[in-house]
Amino acid sequence: MERQFNAEIESLKLGEGEIFHGEGILAVTKALLQSGVSYVGGYQGAPVSHLLDVMVQARDYMDDLGVHVEACTNEASAAAMLGASINYPARGAVTWKSIVGTNVASDALTHVASAGVLGGALVVVGEDYGEGASVAQERTHAVALKSSMWMLDPRPNLATIVNMVERGFELSETSNTPVFMDLRIRACHVHGSFKASANRAPALSTRKLLADPAAFDYEHIPHPPATYRQEKLKMGVRLPAARKYIREHELNELFAGSESTVGIICQGGLYNNLLRALSLVGLADDFGSSRIPVLALNVVYPLVPEEISEFCAGKQAVLVVEEGQPEFIEQDISTLLRRADIQTRLHGKDFLMMAGEYTAEVIVHGLLRFLAAHAPQLDISAGARWTDAVNAARARAAGLLGAPLPPRPPNFCVGCPERPVFAAIKLVERDIGKRHISADIGCHSFATFAPFSLGNSILGYGMSLASGAGVAPMLAGRSLAIMGDGGFWHNGFLSGVASNQLNGGDKVLLIMKNGYTSATGTQDLVSSPRDGSAELVQEHSLVRADRTIENTLRGAGVKWLRNVYTYRVADMTKTLREAFTTDEPGLKVIVAEGECQLERQRRIRPVLARLLGSGARVVRTRFGVDDETCSGDHSCIRLSGCPSLTLKASSDPLKVDPVAHVNHSCVGCGLCGEVAHAAILCPSFYRAEVVQNPGAWDRLLARLRAGVIGWMQPA
Interacting residues with another protein between 147 and 206 (CB under 8 A): 156-157, 184-187, 189-193
User: In 332-384, which ranges are E strands?
Assistant: 345-347
Minimal distance, residue 635 CB to another protein, in Å: 5
Candidates 57-65, 223-231, 535-543, 699-707 — which segment interacts with another protein by CB under 8 A? Answer: 699-707
Candidates 284-292, 337-345, 479-487, 489-497 — which segment interacts with another protein by CB under 8 A? Answer: 284-292
Minimal distance, residue 359 CB to another protein, in Å: 5
Q: Which residue from 240, 314, 410, 606 is in contact with another protein, where contact means CB under 8 A?
A: 410
Residue with Cβ nearer another protein (215 or 400): 400
Residue with Cβ nearer another protein (83 or 632): 632
Does the N-terminal peptide bond of residue 156 adopt cis geometry, omega within 30 degrees of 0?
Answer: no
Contact 669, 644 (CB under 8 A): no
Minimal distance, residue 714 CB to another protein, in Å: 6
Pairing of strands 437-439, 560-565: unpaired
Element (H, E) at 686: strand 685-692
Residue with Cβ nearer another protein (60 or 286): 286
Minimal distance, residue 432 CB to another protein, in Å: 6
Q: Which residue from 210, 214, 397, 616 is in contact with another protein, where contact means CB under 8 A?
A: 397
Residue with Cβ nearer another protein (62 or 124): 124
Pairing of strands 191-195, 179-184: unpaired
| Binding status of residue 390 toward another protein by CB under 8 A | yes
How far apart are the C-alpha atoms of 236 and 219, rounded to whole Å?
16
| Binding status of residue 407 toward another protein by CB under 8 A | yes
| Binding status of residue 291 toward another protein by CB under 8 A | no
Distance of CA 3 to CAs 518, 521, 537, Å? 12, 7, 22
Contact mark string toward another protein, 446..485, x via CB under 8 A: x--xxx------------------------xxx-------
Contact 94, 126 (CB under 8 A): no
Phi, psi values for residue 632, rounded to 5°: 75, 30
Residue with Cβ nearer another protein (106 or 272): 272
How far apart are the C-alpha atoms of 36 and 185, rounded to whole Å?
26
Residue with Cβ nearer another protein (89 or 130): 130
Minimal distance, residue 624 CB to another protein, in Å: 5
Q: How many positions of this chain bind another protein (CB under 8 A)?
A: 139
Q: Which of residues 613-642 bind another protein (CB under 8 A)?
A: 620, 622, 624, 626, 628-629, 631-635, 637-638, 641
Minimal distance, residue 684 CB to another protein, in Å: 8
Q: Which residue from 110, 316, 359, 457 is in contact with another protein, where contact means CB under 8 A?
A: 359
Q: Which of residues 72-91 bind another protein (CB under 8 A)?
A: none
Contact mark string toward another protein, 416..435, x via CB under 8 A: ---------------xxx--
DSSP 8-state class, residue 560:
E
Residue with Cβ nearer another protein (11 or 38): 11
User: Residue 550: what residue type?
Assistant: E
Element (H, E) at 653: none
Contact 384, 365 (CB under 8 A): no
Phi, psi values for residue 128, rounded to 5°: -85, 75
DSSP string across 136-201: ----THHHHHHHT-EEE---SSHHHHHHHHHHHHHHHHHHT--EEEEEEHHHHT-EEEEE------
Q: Which residue from 198, 256, 354, 389 is in contact with another protein, where contact means CB under 8 A?
A: 389
Residue with Cβ nearer another protein (242 or 666): 666
Candidates 84-92, 328-336, 352-360, 604-612 — which segment interacts with another protein by CB under 8 A? Answer: 352-360
How far apart are the C-alpha atoms of 33 and 197, rounded to whole Å?
10
Q: Which residue from 280, 304, 346, 509 is in contact with another protein, where contact means CB under 8 A?
A: 280
Of 131, 77, 66, nearest in space to 105 by CA: 77
How far apart are the C-alpha atoms of 460 and 472, rounded to whole Å?
18
Pairing of strands 299-301, 523-524: unpaired
Residue with Cβ nearer another protein (309 or 359): 359
How far apart are the C-alpha atoms of 85 and 67, rounded to whole Å?
14
Minimal distance, residue 644 CB to another protein, in Å: 10
Q: Which of residues 653-692 bind another protein (CB under 8 A)?
A: 653-658, 662, 664, 673, 676-677, 679-683, 685-692
Minimal distance, residue 248 CB to another protein, in Å: 26
| Binding status of residue 494 toward another protein by CB under 8 A | no
Coil, strand, or helix at residue 229? helix
Coil, strand, or helix at residue 622? strand
Residue with Cβ nearer another protein (387 or 456): 387
Q: Which residue from 222, 282, 288, 305 is in contact with another protein, where contact means CB under 8 A?
A: 288
Q: Which residue from 519, 525, 590, 667 is in contact with another protein, where contact means CB under 8 A?
A: 519
Minimal distance, residue 399 CB to another protein, in Å: 9
Q: Which residue from 401, 474, 538, 696 is in contact with another protein, where contact means CB under 8 A?
A: 401
User: Residue 397: what residue type?
Assistant: A
Minimal distance, residue 404 CB to another protein, in Å: 8
Residue with Cβ nearer another protein (343 or 665): 665
How far apart are the C-alpha atoms of 478 and 480, rounded to whole Å?
7
Pairing of strands 645-648, 659-662: antiparallel
How far apart are the C-alpha atoms of 701 and 708, rounded to whole Å?
11
How far apart are the C-alpha atoms of 268 and 272, rounded to whole Å?
8
| Binding status of residue 514 toward another protein by CB under 8 A | no
Q: Which of residues 93-152 bind another protein (CB under 8 A)?
A: 128, 131-134
- Residues with Cβ < 8 Å from 197, sequence gap 6 or more? 16, 17, 34
Q: Which of residues 241-270 bind another protein (CB under 8 A)?
A: none
How far apart are the C-alpha atoms of 15 and 456, rounded to whole Å?
53
Residue with Cβ nearer another protein (172 or 411): 411
Does the N-terminal peptide bond of residue 47 adopt cis geometry, omega within 30 degrees of 0?
Answer: yes
Of 708, 516, 695, nearest in space to 595 by CA: 516
Q: Which residue from 38, 102, 199, 273 is in contact with another protein, where contact means CB under 8 A?
A: 273
Q: How many CA atoms lie within 13 A of 492 on its CB side?
A: 28
Minimal distance, residue 372 CB to another protein, in Å: 20
Q: Which of residues 5-34 bind another protein (CB under 8 A)?
A: 21
DSSP 8-state class, residue 284:
B
Residue 660 β-bridge partners: 647
Contact 268, 323 (CB under 8 A): no
Minimal distance, residue 550 CB to another protein, in Å: 21
Q: Which of residues 550-589 bind another protein (CB under 8 A)?
A: 570, 580-581, 583, 585-586
